[in-house]
Chain A
Amino acid sequence: SSELTQDPSVSVALGQTVRITCQGDSLRTYYASWYQQKPGQAPVLVTYGKNKRPSGIPDRFSGSSSGNTASLTITGAQAEDEADYHCNSRDTTGKHVIFGGGTKLTVL
C-alpha cells in the first residue's frame, strides 16, 4: 500500500494528553516521522525513528509505533501546540516517500 491515513482533526484540553495516529501497511517496515506545521510556515520535524526528537523539540512530544500504526503523543498540550501534524514514511517499495493527509490539532 502507498497510503498513510490520519484523522482530519483532533482536539485536546489545555494541559491534557493527546495521541495523533497514522495508519499504513508500510509502517510495519518503516518508522514514521512527524512534522508540525503552523499556518504560513514550513513544516518542522518533531519526532522520527524510534522515538527520537531533534534538538529544541520539547520532551512532551513523543513517537511510538505498533503494527501498522504510528502515534504522536503530546503529554500536557500547550496552546502553542495548536497546528497541523503530518506523518510520513516510505512506501512499501522503500523507494518513494509518502505523507498522511494531516491532522489539525485544536487546543481548547
Chain B
Amino acid sequence: EVQLVQSGGGLIQPGGSLRLSCAASGFTVSSNFMSWVRQAPGKGLEWVSIIYNTINTYYADSVKGRFTISSDSSENTVYLQLSGLRAEDTAVYYCARGALGEDALDIWGQGTMVTVSS
C-alpha cells in the first residue's frame, strides 16, 4: 500500500527547533518530488517546501532560511527541519507526494501538529 506516515511535532517554545519525519511505503521517495504543506488553525493550505530528486530544494519565502527539507533514500523518508520557530508557524504540517509527471500532490500524510508557544 502506498502511504506516508508522519512523526514528530508537538509543543515547542519560540526560537526552538524541531524535526518532522515522513516515512514512505509502497514507493521510493527518490522517484517522486516530495513536498511539505501546512495549515494554520482555521486557515487554508500553505505550501512550505519541495524537494526534487532528493537534491533540489525550494522554500516559501515565509520559511526560507529557517526550515530545511531533506530526503534519505536508505530510510525512504523525507524530513523537515524547523528552526527559529515563531508563533505564526503553529499549524498542522502535511507531507505529500508529487504525482509522477504531474504537478499534483497525490498522496498525503496524516498530518502532525506543531504548536509554537511559551
Q: Which A residues fall within an 8 A CB radius of B?
A: 30-31, 33, 35, 37, 42-45, 48-49, 52, 54, 84, 86, 88-90, 95-102
Contact = CB atoms under 8 A, between A and B. Distances in A.
Contact of A42 (B58, B99, B104, B111): B111
* A-B interface, 7 closest residue pairs, ranked by CB to CB distance from nearest: A48-B104, A33-B104, A102-B44, A97-B47, A42-B108, A99-B45, A101-B44
Nearest to A94: B103
Contacts of B94: 42-43
A54 B60 contact: no
Contacts of A89: 103
A100 B104 contact: no
| Interface bracket on B | 20 to 34
Interface in B33-56: 35, 37, 44-47, 50
Interface SS majority for chain A: strand
Interface of B: 35, 37, 44-47, 50, 58, 60, 94, 96, 99, 102-106, 108-111
Looking at B37, B103, B104, which has the most chain A CB atoms within 10 Å of its CB?
B104
Given A33-B104, A45-B104, A45-B106, 12 more contacts: A31-B103, A33-B103, A35-B45, A42-B94, A43-B108, A48-B99, A54-B106, A89-B103, A90-B103, A96-B58, A101-B44, A102-B44
A97 B110 CA distance: 20
A99 B46 contact: yes
Given A33-B105, A42-B110, A43-B94, A88 B45 contact: yes
